[in-house]
Structure 1
Amino acid sequence: MVPSRVFQNVLQRGGAEVCLWREGSEVRYGKTEWIFSPEEYADRDIGKPNRPQRRGLLPPKLARQMVNLARTQNMKTLLDPFCGSGVILIEGLALKLCVWGSDFRDEALDQSRENLEWFRTGSTRNPELVKGLTRVDARQLSLSFRPLSFDAVVGEGDLGPPLRGPVPRKTAISLAKSLERLYIPTFAEIRTILKPGGRVCLAVPFWIPEEGDPIEVNLKRRLALMGYQPCCRTEDSILCNIIAPASGLGEPYMFWSRLSEPVLHALECRGQIISAWS
């Protein structure tokens, strides 16, 4: 039974779900203790006053997964340097984190402000958890935020122009090069405002060319030189399955986190790289 059905037909009615599975020669069992509310996620997706479709919409479930990837045991503060309409900030608030948002567009800050007010009013969240919305380019974060201010930085940055299907390889390389000018200085700035042991989780695009391997924004070597350290080993956890459920579209979804050496995993989903660094 899918989680939404379990929530609606079992847990909400005071019932319980018991799961049985086989591991080798053993049969194990477990009881479902908690499932997210599908209605709450749907409301945060389509119920908020600002849904800027022309710039793309980050689903609240994916935003929550990104925040979860960046979470540490004592995490209290979160910055989204590409806050847009505030989807990630709302998920941070839902987890009772103190959130800051920044963007270089006044329109985005206005949308975030209105959506955050809508969420706080409807959920009785503490208004003091929203610490501020600041107009600043992500490549100049240190002009607006003090060093070592945040436990986590989470965001979906510029994904490039909307495209359909494979693109010429030269076009993909050109797009990747152009976004290096955004992401490399952004990561350098994040390094100055991130607390020791803090984490970064950003959605970064990649392109499937008409021929050859996928083209990525070239970040791995630069991140290592900046001193970013390993965050999580995906093959030792369920993070891959959480962050990238199969879409059936057959396009690779790249998830990687740096260890002593970069690890790259290809999954099926919808065309971004979800990267977690610390």
Structure 2
Amino acid sequence: MRFDFQEKRREKMKYLFLLGRNIELSVAEIKSFFERDKTSYKIISKIKNSILIETDKNLKGIVEKLGGAISMGEVIAEGNFEKLSKELDKLNLYSGKSNKLNYVVFDFHGKHFTDILLYLKNRFREEKLKATEKKLTGNVKLQSGEIVPNVISNRVNEQYFVFEDNFGRIIETCDYEKIEKRDMEKPVRREALSISPRLAKILINFSGIKEGETLLDPFCGIGTILQEALLKNMKVIGIDKDKSAIRDAGTNLEWFGFKTSDYKLINEDSSKAKIQNADAIATEPDLGELQKKFPSLEKARQVVSGFEGLIIKVINNLKKNVKGKIVFTTPLINTGKNKIECDFKKIASETGLRIAEGFPINEFREDSIVGRSIVVMKR
């Protein structure tokens, strides 16, 4: 008798995360998510754009809550090939109803990768499945410049992986089409100036805020961070000095059908606005005007200096009414020769806060002129 692998859970489970293009950012988000929920975990290993984690918590449903994870898989067998194959003999590896199976196998320094490929081929043949191993024809270019393989075909029924001496199955994948459709269909969009839902989720997770708590976005724009927090069953306060942005944020939040009692929109300057208590801040301020060519060193420093002055004023105005972390992005400007960033020690010194360990984390594309640094500050 063979068992579904989900029925044979162990006390400690191992999970594989396939990460987005910015590995450092994705790993930091996962750590923040676990720390918020007080989940005990151990990072076993990191290979390419993957990370293997051991925990005693069932992580089902986590991928849709993260912004930096492509997929999550569960280890179902481990050890040398003899031990691993005996374990797999007891498990159902395909639960689909169709007799036709297309599958892929990720290789993360798999110690028995070739043997496992042959095992799967023979196993599916014995089960009289018309099984075909598909190659990983897609690619993800990491922020580091490294190219790693990825699945792009929707004709793949199952995804397996070999990570060192662990074998597992991908059980959750981010539904990018659903997220993009949701973002494209909302009434008001400002593509050039709007933060992505993916990055909004990451900033919210860095804030450590929980369901039912209140998140403040002092540069809310048309409300992307607000909408993602509300979708996580949080309450929000949005501030923006642009009257049309506040109006558009209201239009978008109304379109989503959120309760008006769960959000408050304020048309004011965040360096002067008065608010009731919030549990954390997550925001992307204006990172400066769009650049069509590399700015001079002097111009880049001017933009960064102006930003420093603004964010210091805003933090000093709001911090007394914010219990927890303050998460924000800052401009990272490419002059063609150098990347100019904010003076984070100055921001910390003049606000009386400290920068969390591991931050700032840079987020940029190789062809971009203005990227961002992501900062987490706390008392």
| Length-normalised TM-score, structure 1 | 0.72
Rounded Cα–Cα distance in structure 2 between residues aligned with 1:7 and 1:188: 49
Match of 2:60 in 1: none
AA aligned to 1:276 is V
* Aligned partner (choices 190, 194, 197) of residue 52 of structure 1: 190
Contact map agreement 1:187 1:223 (CA 8 A) in 2: no
* Aligned partner (choices 264, 267, 270) of residue 135 of structure 1: 267
List per-residue Cα deviations over 1:39-91 (Å, max 9, x = no partner): 331123211110124x5121111111111121246772101111110011011
For residues 210 and 36 of structure 1, do their structure 2 counterparts lie closer, same or farther at Cα, with a shift above 3 Å needed? closer
Match of 2:376 in 1: 276
Rounded Cα–Cα distance in structure 2 between residues aligned with 1:88 and 1:73: 15
List per-residue Cα deviations over 1:90-143 (Å, max 9, x = no partner): 1101111111111111101110000011112xxxx555322x1011211123x2
Contact map agreement 1:139 1:189 (CA 8 A) in 2: yes
- What displacement does 1:30 show? 4.1
Match of 1:262 in 2: none
Correspondence 1:203 to 2:329: yes
For residues 152 and 40 of structure 1, do their structure 2 counterparts lie closer, same or farther at Cα, with a shift above 3 Å needed? farther
- Give SS of 2:282's match: strand
Question: In the TM superposition, what are the counterparts of 1:1-278 in structure 2 within 5 Å?
Answer: 3=71, 17-22=159-164, 27-53=165-191, 56-72=193-209, 76-120=213-257, 125-130=258-263, 132-141=264-273, 143=274, 145-146=275-276, 149-195=277-323, 198-211=324-337, 213-233=338-358, 244=363, 247=365, 249=366, 271-278=371-378
- What displacement does 1:187 show? 1.7
- What displacement does 1:190 show? 3.0
Number of matched pairs? 232
List per-residue Cα deviations over 1:231-278 (Å, max 9, x = no partner): 3436xxxx96xx85x74x2569xxxxxxxxxxxxxxxxx611111222
Gap regions ≥5 residues in structure 2: 1-17, 19-69, 72-149
Rounded Cα–Cα distance in structure 1 between residues aligned with 2:212 and 2:376: 15
Rounded Cα–Cα distance in structure 1 between residues aligned with 2:217 and 2:310: 15
- What displacement does 1:206 show? 2.2
Deviates more, 1:181-190 or 1:76-85: 181-190
- Give SS of 1:62's match: helix
Rounded Cα–Cα distance in structure 2 between residues aligned with 1:76 and 1:20: 40
- Give SS of 1:271's match: strand
Largest Rg, 1 or 2: 2
Identity of aligned residues (%): 24
- Give SS of 1:85's match: coil
Deviates more, 1:202-211 or 1:94-103: 202-211
For residues 33 and 68 of structure 1, do their structure 2 counterparts lie closer, same or farther at Cα, with a shift above 3 Å needed? farther
Rounded Cα–Cα distance in structure 1 between residues aligned with 2:317 and 2:184: 33
Contact map agreement 2:212 2:233 (CA 8 A) in 1: no
Rounded Cα–Cα distance in structure 1 between residues aligned with 2:153 and 2:243: 39
| Length-normalised TM-score, structure 2 | 0.54
AA aligned to 2:376 is A
